[in-house]
Structure 1
């Protein structure tokens, strides 16, 4: 750890001990900016259990005003955070990206409670998240020593908040669902850290909006296919494992809802083919 990171860690340990309260209201934002500068630090305790958890408390408890939240959102979505070294083969760069997207999720959740983001801003967020979803290739879950990266699951959390915003229509929801499908239908990595459950949560909330037609949902489901893959290639096996895991998660999440019986039946057909 750098000296700056050690100093920040000491500050946040004191904040945690004081039940996430600061004596001076103005210090919340200045310390929040300092946390954003270190969002991708490689110490899992500082990154996950201190920076993220502190942001969680401060955002959900209203420690930032709307202007400050928008500023933190802009930082989270910029090229040194959500898209930090996105094209590089740097195994450590993913932590900045994956934890920046969690801040986006927290701020959208706060928007849904207090309605402070303009519709135009929400569409820009949607475009940024889908671009990131497409570009991110490092989808490791738990990384030895470094801790959680979990970029796919974290992005799913942000998309879950997004699909619950009323401004998005069926075209937008299908864009998001197709992005999720593309991220689940990969063969270069097998999801082993509950990523499918986090993706399914976003899908379930999109379906609960009840603005997608039966035919649109079935067409989306039928896109979960491995027909073009070579059965002798290891990527084929990994792809099939990921698809089956996702479809099973969705199946059990919807099993008790009568209005989604047609989805259950379609998943059964797809799993038989697999």
Structure 2
């Protein structure tokens, strides 16, 4: 459809058009999620789908919509530097909206949300295109969008202590396995997802503390790592530690064991910054 059609939809507060079947509208918007044009993708398709999900338009169709978004996570998976990344990274945002809708309205069985969780985790760990902002095409942001989806899973009533612990490990794995420095705010988004897990108050401190220590072990630039600038190899873990400390210290709605977690983060930061923080 012409851009003018969707501009009218946006101008009318994203009310669902009545001149076309919802299935047709959804199919077109889903295709637009993969567009290299940020106006169509980020400015039209994603807000339309996410808003309609939030308003309950898809309440009777959530499984089909979520499965369609999960399928989008495999489109071009493994490619680096191609436009296929947009379909994956914006599909996961819509899938996150679907999960959040279930959390708000309690519409879906647990096994369905858990299956989507498996799909999200598998995609996030296998994604190789870690670009943040792509000039001329806008945000790809796979790590940030993946973290947003993990945060949505963390808020689900279907996720207990075991599943939440897995989510923490996935977030650490993604940060530590990145083969490039994440410079577009990704550590902050990952820290926000970690906080979503911690706010459930189901994962005990004795589990979180070794998780923080794992980040510290990979975030210490003073450990020899061959003939390479050690800060390049440790930056992502270090930035996540710093962001997590900031979130714990100032973000609203802290977890019940905030004091112990702040101390764990402080200890990790002191250990990995001995010349500036350990004096």
How high is the TM-score relative to the length of structure 1? Answer: 0.89
Aligned to 1:76: 69
Provide the C-alpha distance between the structure 1 equivalents of 2:212 and 2:198, rounded to a whole number of angstroms: 12
Aligned to 2:277: none
* Cα drift, residue 231 of structure 1: 4.8
Provide the C-alpha distance between the structure 2 equivalents of 1:215 and 1:77, rounded to a whole number of angstroms: 33
- 5+ long unaligned stretches in structure 1: 1-6
Does the 8 Å contact 1:29/1:64 carry over to 2?
A: no
Aligned to 2:261: 263
Aligned to 1:114: 105
After superposition, where does 1:44-193 map in structure 2 within 5 Å? 44-66=38-60, 68-78=61-71, 81-186=72-177, 188-193=179-184
Q: 1:216 aligns with which of 170, 184, 207?
A: 207
Provide the C-alpha distance between the structure 1 equivalents of 2:140 and 2:51, rounded to a whole number of angstroms: 21
The superposition leaves residues 137-186 of structure 1 with CA deviations (integer Å, 9 ceiling, x where unpaired) of: 11111111111001111111111111111221221111111110011124
* Cα drift, residue 187 of structure 1: 5.2
* Cα drift, residue 115 of structure 1: 1.0
* Cα drift, residue 100 of structure 1: 0.5
Provide the C-alpha distance between the structure 2 equivalents of 1:123 and 1:22, rounded to a whole number of angstroms: 29
Does the 8 Å contact 1:111/1:117 carry over to 2?
A: yes
Provide the C-alpha distance between the structure 1 equivalents of 2:69 and 2:232, rounded to a whole number of angstroms: 32
Provide the C-alpha distance between the structure 1 equivalents of 2:51 and 2:80, rounded to a whole number of angstroms: 33
Aligned to 2:5: 11
Q: Secondary structure at the match of 1:196?
A: helix
Q: Secondary structure at the match of 1:188?
A: coil
* Cα drift, residue 38 of structure 1: 2.7
Q: Secondary structure at the match of 1:230?
A: coil
Aligned to 1:247: 241
Q: Secondary structure at the match of 1:13?
A: helix
Provide the C-alpha distance between the structure 2 equivalents of 1:170 and 1:72, rounded to a whole number of angstroms: 27
**Count of residue pairs brought into register by the alignment:** 264
Per the alignment, do residues 54 and 187 of structure 1 end up closer, same or farther by CA in structure 2, a change over 3 Å counting?
closer
How high is the TM-score relative to the length of structure 2? Answer: 0.88
* Cα drift, residue 25 of structure 1: 8.1
Per the alignment, do residues 127 and 55 of structure 1 end up closer, same or farther by CA in structure 2, a change over 3 Å counting?
same
* Cα drift, residue 27 of structure 1: 2.9
Runs of at least 4 residues off by over 4 Å? none
Q: Secondary structure at the match of 1:185?
A: helix
Per the alignment, do residues 8 and 118 of structure 1 end up closer, same or farther by CA in structure 2, a change over 3 Å counting?
farther
Q: Secondary structure at the match of 1:211?
A: coil
Aligned to 1:230: 225
